[in-house]
Structure 1
Amino acid sequence: MRLWTVYAKEMTETLRDRRSLFSALSYSLLGPLAVVFTVNVLAAATRPGALEPVAVCSGEARELVAHLTAAGFTLSPDAAICLHISHDYSTRVAEGGTANVRVLADLTASGTTVDKLQSEIQRYARTLAMQRALARGVAPAVLVPIAVDVQNTSSVSRRAEVIARLLIVFFLVTPFFVGVAAAADATAGERERRSLEPLLCYPLRRSSLVLGKWLAVATVGAAGTAICVIAGLMLMQRSALPELGVRLETGLEAAVTVTALLLPLTMLVAAVQVAIGLLAASYKDAQSYLTLLAFVPAIAGFVLSGERLAAASAFPIGFELAALAAPLLGSVTALPPFAAVAAAELAAAALVLWLATARLSGERILAQV
């Protein structure tokens, strides 16, 4: 029961420390919000905006103007986008020559409309080319000797893969960030407050003390991770993913699966954080070291891909990066068994906790106070 007494003490202090709770919950909420904001920005960039009016500033081309009007353009003599048609346009078109059409506009302010205008003029030019070929007895297919048709064999679109990877990185970084304040306060912070020495005077095994602190940090990490996953997937349900043609699994089953896959890593991260906190010379140093540690999965998330990710999938972080794609994207990837990786991560956590216990058993830890 001594272990659970330490655990209850650490959890009580953590719940009283609003700074630690704010640090944990703020990341859990801000991370998914950042992903949803990115998705909505991408969707807004792909939405077809209203086309600006176009003015025919010189020349005359009734057929071309009719084509542009049918394509949705509005003609206005006061428009900022000017269409200059060469004076010999009709003659050149009738003779089968090339007529010049010039578009004058501010590409910074009207880039979308100008791109659409250029595309429609080129489409009209291709139609004229086909008509000329037919008039001369030439099959239109002669003008297009090769037609390229690209088909995607992947069940997951590239855009969905990128968005899912961004979400996975946030989920993976969560247990590293949410436990920073709790781990630093339970180890180096307690030593600076000079409350560690009286605690060591109690008839309490050092292993129970370390395990109690570890369980408290792991609880904060697991709770923060669960909040991040649930909030993230709920927000993704209300994002603009359908506008991007992206489908992600955001239901309860996906949330439970993602949280379960991250749980063993959360246990290992909590053990490493407790060990680093006991090794740090001060609370400030502990926070610095733990913050630097939190960037490891973020860097791995952007570095590991393809063959490198497949090679790293047998190790912590690499396995989670590859495995979390399955519940989110519905993809099937050959991975090491989850039980084997989870057992390895828990064994590594036990080893780290044993080293932390050895550190706490020595008298040198009190000499740093």
Structure 2
Amino acid sequence: MHMTFKGWAAIVLTIAAAGAAHAGGFSRGTANTDILYEDGRVVLQGGSTYVAPSRAYETVSGRPVSDGSMTGSYWVPGLAVKIGINDASSCALTYTEPYGASLETGAQTQRAQLLAGRDGSIASHLRSDEYGATCAVKLPAGPGNLVLVGGVFLQSIDYKDQSLLGTLHLGDDEAYGYRLGAAYEIPDYALRAQLLYRSAVDHEGDGTFTASPLAAARYGVPAGYTVFAHGGGTLPQSLEISLRSGVAEDWLAFGSVKWTDWSVLPSLDYVVTGFGPQHRDFNFRDGWTIQGGLAHSFTEKLAGLVSLTWDRGVSTGADVLTDTWTLGAGAQLKTDIGNFQIGAGLSYMTAGMQSIARSATLDATVGGDWGLGVTTSYAIKF
């Protein structure tokens, strides 16, 4: 073979990032625990994925609108350090942004919401950070190794939601979760089958609510009046099965199936002092993400791959998070100073609709929309 398949975990993860960044719900980045399988006593890898989705309403309250895209572009960073303890065990420190969202509706949509007397969200932003520590132990088993994986992570969130009544800001700096998994690998055939579980994380956060002029007129408080707020919710558990294997000279096939328990988040519930209990409905269903692809080694230093990812939309009618199809391609270049990976994904988001009857702020429809993801990373081994 031109290029050993043992070092291909990085390139497969890189191209997977371009597809995963368009996944359902609020999913964004995935911690690079695959670095545990890389050769080398110390391995460093860092990268970033840029995603530019374009989701726009076609109609609101039965009328055509031309507000343009309501989804903002964003970056998803990823850092990982593997430290080999001995030939049979290693640990990794990782960082990523596992969840995020950015939504801003246009003037026509906001006007329709005001005329309909609806006070729902007109702009929302969610950011999260995950700091993880994961270890793996290899046990000889037949022609390969049984690998046991486990670790913990700290997750924080920062959430802002603007409605016609005002702006809610909640944050939680410290919540914990864990990972557990098992894999079987035969390195000589680049074969690895893995089952990896990531736990749910419960968040409770304090913050503020700042009243808008509309709230001032309705409730008799000054515009800009700020009061205490408290609320929370659960971000989901997930289970992923992945398989990769050499299938011919210089060829590698890979695939994965991931289930994410988005139905655990029916709503964000919070309490605002003086305004009482409030909620933001999501009514998500569980998400499924299926990916498959092929990689090929062209020379000892250059490899490339293609992939296709399907993500089942989590929407049940309260929003327009529909199915997404992503075609990805990537390349890896080995140099004397490290390995460079680059990938890109073109995503198609299917048409859909939301309705007040299903807890949406307004009746609205979307057509088929497109998104683009570009990802790069660099890895070096010692």
Q: Max radius of gyration: which structure?
A: 1
**Bigger relative CO (Cα 8 Å, ≥ 6 apart):** 1
Structure with greater helix percent:
1
Which TM-score applies when normalising by structure 2? 0.18
Which TM-score applies when normalising by structure 1? 0.18
